[in-house]
Amino acid sequence: MLINCIFKKNILKKRATLFLLSPYILMSICLASLVFSTHLWASYNQTVIGPAWGDHDGWDQPEYYSTIRYPDLNGDGKADICGREGRGILCYLRRVDAFVPSTFFLGLSNAEGWNQPEYYSTIRYPEINGDGKADICARSKTGVKCYLNTGKTFVESTFFLGWSDDKGWHIPTYHATIRYPDLNGDGKADICGRLKTGVKCYLNTGTSFTDSNYTVADWSDANSWNHHQYYATIHYPDLNGDNKADVCGRSRRGIECRLNVGSRFSSSHYLGPDWADAVAWDQRQYYLSIQYPDINSDGKADICGRSGSGVVCHLSLEDSFSSVSYRGPEWTDADGWDKPGHYSTIGYSPVIGENLDICSRTNTGIKCYKNYVKYADMVEYLIDGEEPIYHHPHGEEHEERIPLKEKSSIRKCIFSNCIVGLTLTGPEWSDANGWNKPEYYSTIRYPMLDRNKNVSGICGRSSHGIKCYYRGANL
């Protein structure tokens, strides 16, 4: 049992220099490891019970389960939950340990064609009027329309953009790129999408969307951006911390970004990792893992992705991403991480403290690793034959150890997978329990259940409905 704990909790790693520990110290390490396991929820963690959106009511169909999101509907800093059923969008509000029914409703029904993927896949919850409450925008056959949050329900607005079926927007290469970044930092969502001629954005005037100079002409059909391995990677992170969205995407050569210079995107490239087609980043299991979390909490989006050998991150600098890569969990293809039931569940959430930790679904359930990026720059490198030196952030009596010297001068460790640190085991959403099916694993999210208390959760839909787990005190 003790030996199983040591290896299961990643206390000894095959790359690490072996060190002697007494059985008592080893047992203390195992007992001190923080866990999210379902058999310890009662004594260590909490749950929030969600709607009974079970298989028996048809929620195992993609037109329903893929629409589940966690917007803040009443501006209280707590995640609520919405999803589309046959009659339209239903929402439940967070009340301590449960989501409860509300009056929020929008009739995007099957009868009106909203069970078609070119429509239901575009449902989003941006903040359109800057009141701190999530609204709804979605694309129908006539174009994009937004519905404002009244505090009790959603009502039609004057926000409309004619990205219609007649203009080809029913094709995924276009409608799948619709996003709502804040381009001018006014707290109101604008709208961007990729046309045949490249990326085009419209600004929010307060009552409608109007034309702008925010474009990226290079990302056109003529330059092959109508292929999934390129258009599916378009994101709008804030790379320089000015509260204005920039734009990034992966071309055949690697990551390309353009900074927001106030009224347009820069024509010069903000250089990113060379995650090119030539080194297999045109494979879905890699390019679909690309995300832009702020892993060092400096207010600037960084970049992380999963290659065949595991997760790797690069920090945002003044005019490029860092050439030094920061090592994450070794979630390798050899261990089955090329399957969507694993790589598509990778997320970044402040499970412990304020820095973004990393979580995903393994064969046995959710596992999270603590972020130690603040110690990454302390690392020096071993001369052959030199013994490793460790830093104990909470004193030598605690099990967490930060390596001050390690062998690689190219990749630095930042998550607890490669040091003796805190590893959290989450809900047992395992393959054996059916969570390798898309109707379950694709609903896994890591919402901020309470931003006021910095409490994040792990939420997902089982055959019985929604349940969320979180660590810490009562909400």
Residue 9 resides in a domain: no
- Please give the sequence-ordered ranges of beta strands (E in DSSP) within 70-219, or none if there are none: 81-85, 88-95, 98-106, 136-140, 143-149, 154-161, 191-195, 198-204, 209-216
Give me the residue label for tokens 């009662």. 42
Residue 442 resides in a domain: yes
Picking from 282, 316, 338, the residue at the C-terminal end of a domain is 338
Q: What are phi and psi of 41, to 5 degrees?
A: -55, -40
What would the mean pLDDT of 429-446 be, rounded to a whole number?
Answer: 97
Q: What would the two tokens of residue 26 be? A: 């080893």
- Compare 223 and 96 and report the one with higher pLDDT: 223
Looking at the fold, whether 351 and 452 belong to one and the same domain comes out as: yes
CB atoms within 10 A of CB 88: 16
| pLDDT(42) > 50 | no
Residue 407 resides in a domain: no
Which pLDDT score, from 0 to 100, does residue 404 have?
45
DSSP conformational letter for 376: G
CA distance 92 to 98: 9
Long-range contacts, 347-353 (Cβ 8 Å, 24+): 347/291, 347/444, 347/445, 347/446, 348/291, 348/293, 348/295, 348/304, 348/446, 349/446, 349/448, 349/456, 349/458, 350/454, 350/456, 351/424, 351/456, 351/471, 352/34, 352/422, 352/424, 352/471
Return the closest-CA partner of residue 76 out of 28, 134, 20. 134
- What is the separation of C-alpha 320 from the centre of its chain, rounded to a whole number of angstroms? 22
Specify the amino acid at residue 404.
L
Residue 453 resides in a domain: yes
Which pLDDT score, from 0 to 100, does residue 32 have?
29
Looking at the fold, whether 333 and 351 belong to one and the same domain comes out as: no
Range of the domain at 240: 191-338
Give me the residue label for tokens 């059916």. 434
The CA-atom distances, in angstroms, between 438 and each of 59, 288, 450, 463 are 12, 15, 27, 12
Does the CA dihedral 440-446-447-452 come out positive or negative? positive
Q: Would you place residue 29 in the very low, low, confident or very high pLDDT band (cuts 50, 70, 90)?
A: very low
Which pLDDT score, from 0 to 100, does residue 45 have?
64
Residue 208 resides in a domain: yes
- Compare 238 and 451 and report the one with higher pLDDT: 238
Number of domains in the chain: 3
CA distance 52 to 9: 33
Q: Would you place residue 9 in the very low, low, confident or very high pLDDT band (cuts 50, 70, 90)?
A: very low
CB atoms within 10 A of CB 434: 13
Looking at the fold, whether 225 and 257 belong to one and the same domain comes out as: yes
- Compare 325 and 376 and report the one with higher pLDDT: 325
- Compare 230 and 353 and report the one with higher pLDDT: 230
Distance spanning both ends of the chain, measured CA to CA: 34
- State pTM to two decimals: 0.85
Q: What are 377-421's pLDDT values in tens digits?
A: 544 433 444 455 555 555 555 555 545 444 443 345 566 555 445
Q: Would you place residue 353 in the very low, low, confident or very high pLDDT band (cuts 50, 70, 90)?
A: confident
Which pLDDT score, from 0 to 100, does residue 51 have?
98
Looking at the fold, whether 155 and 106 belong to one and the same domain comes out as: yes
Q: What are 87-138's pLDDT values in tens digits?
A: 999 999 999 899 999 999 999 999 999 999 999 999 999 999 999 999 999 9
Which pLDDT score, from 0 to 100, does residue 327 have?
85
Percent of the chain clearing pLDDT 70 (strictly above): 79
What would the mean pLDDT of 437-456 be, rounded to a whole number?
Answer: 94
Picking from 146, 178, 210, the residue at the C-terminal end of a domain is 178
Residue 380 resides in a domain: no
Looking at the fold, whether 438 and 465 belong to one and the same domain comes out as: yes
What would the mean pLDDT of 38-62 be, rounded to a whole number?
Answer: 75
Return the closest-CA partner of residue 183 out of 157, 158, 163, 209. 209
Looking at the fold, whether 99 and 204 belong to one and the same domain comes out as: no
Looking at the fold, whether 94 and 122 belong to one and the same domain comes out as: yes
CA distance 84 to 107: 9
What would you measure as the largest C-alpha separation in the chain, in angstroms? 72
Looking at the fold, whether 230 and 149 belong to one and the same domain comes out as: no
Contact 145, 159 (CB under 8 A): yes
What would the mean pLDDT of 446-450 be, rounded to a whole number?
Answer: 94
Across the chain, mean pLDDT equals 85
Looking at the fold, whether 266 and 367 belong to one and the same domain comes out as: no
DSSP string, 202-268: EEE-SSSEEEEEEEETTSSGGGTTTSHHHHTT-B---SSSSSS--EEEEETTEEEEE-B-SSSB-SS
Looking at the fold, whether 258 and 154 belong to one and the same domain comes out as: no
Looking at the fold, whether 157 and 254 belong to one and the same domain comes out as: no
Q: What would the two tokens of residue 310 be? A: 């595991």
Q: What are 302-334's pLDDT values in tens digits?
A: 999 999 999 999 999 989 999 888 888 889 999
Looking at the fold, whether 303 and 269 belong to one and the same domain comes out as: yes
Residue 429 resides in a domain: yes
Picking from 311, 338, 365, the residue at the C-terminal end of a domain is 338
Residue 310 resides in a domain: yes
